[in-house]
Structure 1
């Protein structure tokens, strides 16, 4: 296993910068997600770590040793792609065994390692099948088996669950997390799905525009976002943002409050955050209902367990605990201290 140090890493394509001096350190055996919208540089950074892309500046180190100029085969990392990348003419057994045969490992060891990977991932009964005969989830398990069979120092995963249906994605993320804990392997997991990153990761590196916005454990990213971008990207539905001057404050401040922290309440002045608006929509969503409330010409989302007694068009008072109300610099987006 290995720790990974990313030090002032820059990447340019034809003089166009796509990674801007990134710095972060991933601990040995840690599960880290690179999270951000499409085009933010998360996959590019993953490929730089794997050695598939050359960096334009800075260093990438494994266990403090500079690997920036080393070929991918010398980095002892395994990469799992979004499209599985299984060899269609090979059986499951031969797909899993392929990296070991490339390394010249003897057949007895290969057989033992393939059996170990098959048992661990629950694909032993599928070893003699072709990839075309497998479901999407089974193919993903085989791809992971091929990656871990040679005991890599780090497992790099590029949106490996995005082709699966919703229920299978939930199951596979549990399987991947269990596997990572059993093996103790360092994992870097690229995703644009903030829920996926929240439930799987020890820490999340939130990226935008090729820059690192925040690197922290999931609940710190959720409850103490470094800036407005992180606050808006993490959480579903996204955080409500309102101009500070519309709330009796300063135009230089943007106020944010999450829908799950905001709900109907009385009008008593008890120090809690308060908004008054008109209820325009009620959306059932299982254990809660989302409320769309028009406040000062914009829609604010709130939640309620049961909407009994609420009527569309009525005036509604929304309340939130003061400690769950966030303030951001309106110009830079940087988080400001809560009042």
Structure 2
């Protein structure tokens, strides 16, 4: 295991600034997700930690030891790529053994480590198959096995689940979380899927345009977003935003955010006592036990929720309610939380 400190790290490609003074302190045995939209710099940061890219400024420390200029092989980390990167001409057991053979580990130790990794990941029956004979989920397990077989201090994963279907992604994220807890290994996990990050992480580092926006636990990020960007990026469906004048006792120079799950029809018996909004019901979208309502309030389309849409019809005028404590206030100029 290893703690990782990222101290004021910047990365430039010529005049283009990709990372802008990133500061993070990652604890020993923690699973941290780097989350953000495409092009925000999360994969670049991961490759800088792996030593595959040089940083422009700053410092990277593993367990307090300066690793800024160490070669990748001297950092004792493992990297799982998005496309698995398995050798197609090698059996699974040889793919697993490859990093150990590169380190000239003796044959008996290689056999023992390969069998251990296969047992941990439940792929013992696949050892004599080629990658072309495996499903996507099985290939992912082999890629993870090849990374953990030499007991790295940290495991870096670059969107490893993006090539899997929805059902398999849910299953694999559970497997990765279980593996991380069993091995007590530090894991850095790059993803653009906020649900994936929320479900797996001890803490989430949210990035945008090369800048760290917030670093906290999943529920703290959800309940107290640091700024409007984080508020809009975390949560599904996305948070609604309205000008302050939409609510009484709210300054005009602020933006008010309210999550769809906290905005309900005001005529329901369970509606909160608080702020009301009136608008035209445009669409009812049923997704199992929850029904989403698209409501046009002025020129802003809001999304609300209800458990039972009986009596509601598109085209009618409805009133929405939310409790005052459920509102999030952001500065209209800076976007920072007030």
What's the TM-score once normalised by structure 1's chain length? 0.97
Task: Give unpaired runs (5+ residues) of structure 2.
Answer: none
Over the residues paired in the alignment, what is the CA RMSD in angstroms?
1.3
Q: 1:267 to 1:187 in 2, by over 3 A?
A: closer
> Secondary structure of the equivalent of 1:2?
coil
> Quick check: 1:265–1:318 contact (8 Å CA) kept in 2?
yes
> What is the alpha-carbon distance in structure 1 between the residues aligned to residue 311 and residue 267 of structure 2?
14
Whole-Å separation in 2 of the counterparts to 1:270 and 1:38 = 38
Q: Partner residue of 2:255? A: 254
How many aligned residue pairs are there? 336
CA distance in 1, matches of 2:279, 2:268: 12
CA 1:270–1:53 in structure 2 vs 1: closer, same or farther (change >3 Å)?
closer
Q: Any residues of structure 2 matched to 1:158-173 within 5 Å, and which?
A: 158-173=158-173
Aligned partner of 2:286 among 278, 284, 287: 284
Match of 2:12 in 1: 12
Partner residue, 1:194: 194
Matches within 5 A, 1:220-235: 220-235=220-235
**Ranges of 4+ aligned residues in structure 1 off by more than 2 Å:** 245-251, 266-271
Distance in 2, matches of 1:114 and 1:214, equals 39
Asked if 1:332 corresponds to 2:334, the answer is: yes
Match of 2:303 in 1: 301
Once the two structures are TM-superposed, the CA of residue 194 in structure 1 deviates from its matched residue by: 0.2
Cα deviation for residue 270 of structure 1 reads 7.4
SS in structure 1 of the partner of residue 129 of structure 2: coil
Secondary structure of 1:254's counterpart equals: strand
**1:36 and 2:29 aligned:** no
User: Counterparts of 1:282 and 1:275 in 2: how far apart (Å)?
Assistant: 17
The C-alpha deviation readout for 1:139-183, integer Å capped at 9, x for no partner, is 000000000000000000000000000000000000000000000
Residue correspondence of structure 1 range 1-339 to structure 2 within 5 A: 1-248=1-248, 249-266=250-267, 272-336=274-338
Query: In 2 relative to 1, CA 127–277 (structure 1 residues): closer, same or farther, beyond 3 Å?
Result: same
Cα deviation per residue 1:56-75 (whole Å; 9 max; x = unaligned)?
A: 00000001111000000000
Is this contact kept in 2: 1:161–1:172, CA < 8 A?
yes
Distance 1:287 1:77 in 2: 44
SS in structure 2 opposite 1:198?
Answer: helix
Kept in 2: contact 1:257–1:325 (CA 8 A)? yes
Secondary structure of residue in 2 paired with 1:335: coil
Q: Aligned-pair distance for 1:19?
A: 0.5
Q: Matches of 1:149 and 1:187 in 2, distance apart?
A: 15
Q: Measure the CA separation in 1 of the matches of 2:12 and 2:24.
A: 19
Residues 267 and 317, structure 1, Cα contact 8 Å, conserved in 2: no
Q: Structure 1: which 5+ runs fail to align?
A: none
**Secondary structure at the counterpart of residue 18 of structure 1:** strand
Q: Distance in 2 between matches of 1:62 and 1:9?
A: 14
How far off is 1:261 after superposition?
1.0
Judge conservation of contact 1:96–1:114 (CA < 8 Å) in 2.
yes
Please give the per-residue CA displacement for 1:260-316, whole angstroms capped at 9, x wherever unaligned: 111112399975122111111000111201000010111100011121111111111
